[in-house]
Every structure is written in C-alpha cells, then in structure tokens.
Amino acid sequence: MSSIWSSLEPLLERVQRPARYIGLEDGAILPSYDDEGAPGRVSWLLTYPDSYEIGLPNQGLQILCEILNERQDACAERAYAPWVDLEAELRAAGLPLFSVGTHRPANEFDVIAFNLSAELTFTNVLNCIDLADVPLRAADRTASHPLVGAGGHCTTNPEPLADFLDFVVLGDGEEVVGELTEVIGCWKRSSSDDRQALLEELATVEGVYVPSLYEPIYSAEGDLVETVPLAASAPDVIEKRTVADLAAWPYPRNQLVPLTEVVHDRLNVEVFRGCTRGCRFCQAGMITRPVRERPAEQVRAMISNGLARTGYDEVALTSLSTADFSGIQPVVDGIMSDPISAGQVSVSLPSLRVDAFTVGLATSIRQGRRTGLTFAPEAGTWRMRQIINKLIREEDLYEAVESAYSEGWRRMKLYFLTGLPSETDEDTLGIATLARKCVEIGKKYHKYPSVTVSVGGFVPKSNTPFQWFGQNTVTELQRKIYLLRDELRRDHGVQLKWHDPKTTLIEGVFSRGDRRLGDVLESVWRTGGTFQEWTEYFELERWETALAEAGLSPEYYANRHRHIDEALPWDHLSAGLHKDFLAQDWADALAEVGLPDCRWTPCYDCGACTGYGIEHVVASAVPPAGGSQGTGQNVTSDLGAVPVMLGASASVRAPVGVTP
C-alpha cells in the first residue's frame, strides 16, 4: 500500500477546510494493509461524488464500509469529491483522488463505488474517475484498472452514466456487496486478465446490472425501441435487491463524528426502510418498498449506544415517514427520560408526515432542546393532494401546526412542489392560503410566529406513476414561483424560498434520460462543469450547448409527455414495481382518485412484496395515532382534459375511503 499524505499535506494549507481531507474522525475504522497480499482480498473505495460536508453524513457509505471491513476477504475506505480548490492543487501536483483514511491512491483499490443520490452529481462522478487516473469510459479499461460501480436511488435509471460504469447495484446493498466481493476475489485468485469474463460473472449476481452487456435500440426517428442483452449471462430484466429483515443489519454501529462542520451533524438512526403511503411523485417511497421496521428495542439500543459513544446532543430518527414508525412514541419518550441525557438531547424527525404528528409526540419532543419542525403538505389544494396521493386534509396540517405552536415552537417550515400534473394557478396560490392560516394559528400562542415556505419544481422520476408526465418548462415554473412571491409579498410572517427552475430542468433531463446523454455529460465535464448541484457553479448555458452539440434537446427528455406504451430507458431494470400498476396509478391520479396505505389495507399487487416473496415488517396491526392517515377519499369530480396520452388499457379504480 502507498500513501500520498507526504505530498498532500503541504497542499492543505492553501485550501478551504483542510479537515475535509485528513480523516481521523471518531468512529473511523482504518483497514490494515499488512496482509495486502492475502489471496483474493478485495479492496473497496466507497465514494460520495459531492463535498465532504454533504457526503460524510450519508449512512449508506458508513454502513457498507463497516460491513465490508468485518469480512476477512475485503477491506473498505471512503472518498469524497475534492472541492474545486483542492482539485486544482491535485492536478497541478500530479496527485490522484485518494481515500480519506489512509490517503491511498484511488486507482490502487479493486473497486471504486459511487453513491448516486442526485442526477446533478453525475459530472462529479466523471471528475472523480478521471482524478483517480482511471480511463473515463468503461470500454477503455483493462484488467489492471479498478472496477467502477454505483448504487443509490439514481441507479433506477443509470443509463446516462452507462458508458462510464462497469456495474450498477439496484436496491439495498448490505447483502450484495458480500456477493460481489466473492466474485471479484475469485477472479483475483485466478490471476486472470479477462476483464470481460469478470463482468459477465458479475451480471449473474442478483441485483447487479452490467451496462456493457446491453444495447439500446433506437428507431429511425430517434426514439428508444428496446434495450437488449448481448450476453447469455445477462438477464432480460435485472431485479433489485431487498433486505427482508432490517433487524439483521444494525448498522452503522460506529457512526462517524467529523472534525469539521457538516450538514446533519447529529446521531442518525434509521427506524425503518420503505414507505407505502403511495405519494405518486416520490421515487424513494416507491422503489424502497416494502416497509421494514426495526424492532423498537433495537432502535433504543442504537440510540443509547450511539449517544454514549459519539457525544452528540441531537438524534435524528430517519425514514421516509418517521412518525409512521409503530414504536415512535415509546422511543421518543425513552430518549427524553434517559437519565444520561437528562433532557439535554434534542430529537429530530426529519421526515415528519403532517397527519401522523400528535400532541403527545410534540410534548415528548419539547422536553429536550427544541429543534425546527418541517412539514411537507407538498401541494396547496386538496384537489392537487388527491392527484399526488398526499391525502392530507387542511385540518390535518392545522392540527399539527397548532400542536407544535402550543408546545412552544415559534418557527416551522412547510415544503411544497410546484409544476405538478394538471396544476392550476389556483392550486399554486393555495400554498399562500395554507401558510397564512398557519401563521394565524401561531399568533394564538406567540407574538411573532413565522413560517418558511420552501418550493421546489417537480421532476418526474423513473419507477413512479408520474414517470410519463412532461415537467413544466423553466418559464412556466418561474411564472408560478413569481406568482406566489407576489402573493406573499406583504405577509411578514411568511418567508418564501424556492429552488432554481434552471437546475430543475437539467435534473429532469437526466432523471428520464438515455445513454445518448453520456456524451453530454462528458462535454459538460470537460468544459469545467463540476459541482453542478451547487448554485454558484451551475450554468444552464453549458448544458444547453452540450445538448445541442449532441443533436439532443432538453425538451425531448424533460418536457415531453410520454405515451403509456412508450419504451422507457429503464424498462430492463426493475425496482420491484409492476409497470401496469404504475400505469393504473397514473390513470388514478388524473381521475383524482386516492389510494390508502397498503400496510393496513388489502394489497394492490404493486409487485414489491409479491414479486420477491417478502412482506411488510410492521410491529403494529393498526396505523399510528394521528389524523386522516392517508385513508383515501371518495372522489367523483371530473378533472377534464389533461394533455397526457394514456393507453387504452388504463382504467380507473373504484374510489376508496371516506368523504372529507
């Protein structure tokens, strides 16, 4: 093993936040390389393609790093995208990307694996590959180069990155990394230089996609016809991996405590994985099904041990809808009553559903140091919330807000989307109405309550019912945001923030893009387009130029409605959801029909459980206490014409639930 530390250290005095690059975090496990020559031992460099501040809290990297380092046949370290100042220093000095633990060059690892959590990080992936001194395109690599892989939510459609990745993992990674290690280790022990044979063997691992073994076929008009396998070992459809029993994987056991400030700098404990609320815009909720709860006792132990070891005074209970955790109340009560914390530990519920927030929960949280509260109604009117299946009544929001204000909170944040299917100006202005009402409720308890309204432009994502919807143009999104801004201009208790519609456009291009976008990514990267998710570095013109040079348009990928029968770039990749289920849910959305949570209702056969022979792991037989709980509604209104083509096979389910 080599280390570049002696060459790296003098550079750190010339860059911002040198603590990003020195490692040494509390809880970090440094693998031993004394037995580097052990036959078949596989080394992994788990890489987050964004700055250290963003990447360090990522639990995926921490979990997989611990799991791999517990194996005798593997070792793992972490890496993050160097900030622009250090990148310039590295290139000037001829130094490569490195691990933050031992500062080992990235190209000395057997595998460089990226976490793909956002489309705008894709150019950073290319930059990291190049900084590692590894050929940018997979086709140019030999047996002497590391394998380049990826996992994370964006791998539900990895096609824009297909030419740069050797393999992709779909779904949960806890089990599959061990199987990949065994395949790669066996290949190493054979002393083979047949990289193609290795790739074909990797393709036999369930949940692993090898892009080079597939070819997209296009029509004369330039539309995708199908994606076909090129090797016998390549399955027609790659199925995602699902960890059935989350209790068997109580990781991370040693959460990292950084030496510098990072986002979400707190103890994070995952209470369950998956969501069945059925929000039609939410990719994470769709692709992580089924719901798998941790036992409440395990959660309490992870919290107690984590607080004692790390010294944190804040714990975040993480999931896609934390208040739905069947053990939420006793867990929170346990934290507040723990004699060690003595009321000095604050509890954050970062994914807090409005209709599951209760007075009792607010009271329990209030006993510690009070943190901010964020609720996500997502849409400003009941009509829109039926369309997106976010079945939260105004009463649910107001009751949750009143519970919070009555228990001492003065500030809260409301998150909304704009640009949703069939959205009107009335729906947009409904956001202002909700915000004003929340401030009015707060004035019953405080002199100057405040509400921050955060608005993001909607981006259709793969493997959701809205994957066929063409997103609003930049001009239309800006118009809606300015409409809302002007409406709230005189409301001093409401602060409006919004996401740049220009970045929304490019995110939309790559969320539903195909392999032809690989040339666009490379072009943007070669012209200096890194850290594109950071406002100060994003330039729409750079992307528009690259698209035009490739003979492509953003409108084709982002703004165009897709026909229900159209071949999609990710059709050969399964996130566990039947396509006909998604099509039916799309039709239901346009008919304003909501669906109840299938944890406590009959199965809709979405495919997430039945297709894999598993089922929800939920401790409670009834929904947690709260408001409407997404019970579904009896909707009979006629939406009228919607500029989206539906297939003839799409029918509308009978309305379910109760009338609001």
Closest residue by Cα to residue 29 from 102, 108, 115: 102
What six digits make up the tokens of 566? Answer: 């159209």
Q: Buried (b) or exposed (e) across 257-288, using 16+ Cβ within 10 A?
A: bbeeebebebbbbbbbbbbbbbbbbbbbbbbb
Give me the pLDDT at residue 38, please: 67
3-class state of residue 403 by DSSP: helix
Mean pLDDT value of segment 227-251: 96
Residue 599 lies in a domain: no
Give me the pLDDT at residue 37, please: 54
Give me the pLDDT at residue 347, please: 87
Give me the pLDDT at residue 350, please: 81
E strand or H helix that includes residue 451: strand 450-457
E strand or H helix that includes residue 416: strand 411-418
Q: How confident is the model at residue 652 (pLDDT cuts 50, 70, 90)?
A: very low
Number of domains in the chain: 1
- Specify the range with the lowest mean pLDDT, choosing from 218-232, 380-394, 599-613: 599-613
Give me the pLDDT at residue 354, please: 82
E strand or H helix that includes residue 332: helix 328-337
The DSSP secondary structure of 470-520, one letter per residue, reads PPPPHHHHHHHHHHHHHHTTT-TTEEEEE--HHHHHHHHHHHS--TTHHHH
Residue 149 lies in a domain: yes
Give me the pLDDT at residue 341, please: 63
Give me the pLDDT at residue 641, please: 32
Residue 123 lies in a domain: yes
Give me the pLDDT at residue 545, please: 98
CA distance 591 to 571: 25
Residue 121 lies in a domain: yes
388, 280 contact by CB (below 8 A): yes
- Specify the range with the lowest mean pLDDT, choosing from 27-36, 486-495, 527-536: 27-36
Q: What angle do CA 571, 153, 237 make, to 5 degrees?
A: 25
Residue 55 lies in a domain: yes
Q: Is residue 521 predicted with pLDDT exceeding 50?
A: yes
Mean pLDDT value of segment 46-61: 97
Q: Is residue 650 predicted with pLDDT exceeding 80?
A: no
Q: Is residue 424 predicted with pLDDT exceeding 50?
A: yes
CA distance 194 to 460: 40
Q: Is residue 630 predicted with pLDDT exceeding 90?
A: no
What CATH number does the domain containing 166 carry?
3.40.50.280
Express each pLDDT in 5-21 by its tens digit.
999 999 999 999 999 99
CA distance 379 to 429: 10
Q: What percent of the chain has pLDDT over 70?
A: 90
With a CB cutoff of 8 Å and minimum separation 6, the contacts of 304 are 338, 340
Residue 267: phi and psi, rounded to 5, are -75, 120
Express each pLDDT in 378-423 by its tens digit.
999 999 999 999 999 999 999 999 999 998 999 999 999 999 999 9
Give me the pLDDT at residue 631, please: 31
CA distances from 328 to 345, 379, 559, 616 (A): 16, 26, 41, 17
Residue 242 lies in a domain: no
What six digits make up the tokens of 428? Answer: 């947009």
Give me the pLDDT at residue 629, please: 36
Neighbours of 622 (CB within 10 A): 10
How deeply is 6 buried, as exposed, middle or buried, from its count of CB atoms within 10 A (0-12, 13-18, 19+)? Answer: exposed
Mean pLDDT value of segment 153-158: 97
What six digits make up the tokens of 228? Answer: 């076909």
105, 97 contact by CB (below 8 A): yes
Higher-confidence residue: 603 or 74? 74
CA distance 471 to 459: 6
Give me the pLDDT at residue 343, please: 64
Residue 416: phi and psi, rounded to 5, are -135, 160
Mean pLDDT value of segment 61-82: 97
Mean pLDDT value of segment 101-106: 97
What six digits make up the tokens of 466? Answer: 């809205």
3-class state of residue 229 by DSSP: strand
Instruction: Say how far residue 532 (Cα) sits from the centre of its chain.
Output: 17
Express each pLDDT in 254-307 by its tens digit.
999 999 999 999 999 999 999 999 999 999 999 999 999 999 999 999 999 999
Q: What's the one-letter identity of residue 68?
A: L
Peptide bond preceding 252: is omega within 30 degrees of 0, i.e. cis?
yes
Give me the pLDDT at residue 148, please: 99
Strand pairing partners for 641? Answer: none
How deeply is 387 buried, as exposed, middle or buried, from its count of CB atoms within 10 A (0-12, 13-18, 19+)? Answer: buried
Closest residue by Cα to residue 473 from 412, 553, 402: 553
Give me the pLDDT at residue 658, please: 25
Express each pLDDT in 344-384 by its tens digit.
888 888 877 787 777 677 777 776 656 668 899 999 999 99
Residue 584 lies in a domain: no
Q: How confident is the model at residue 112 (pLDDT cuts 50, 70, 90)?
A: very high
Range of the structural domain that residue 91 is part of? 4-228
Residue 490 lies in a domain: no
Q: Which sign, positive or negative, has the C-alpha torsion 91, 96, 97, 102?
A: negative
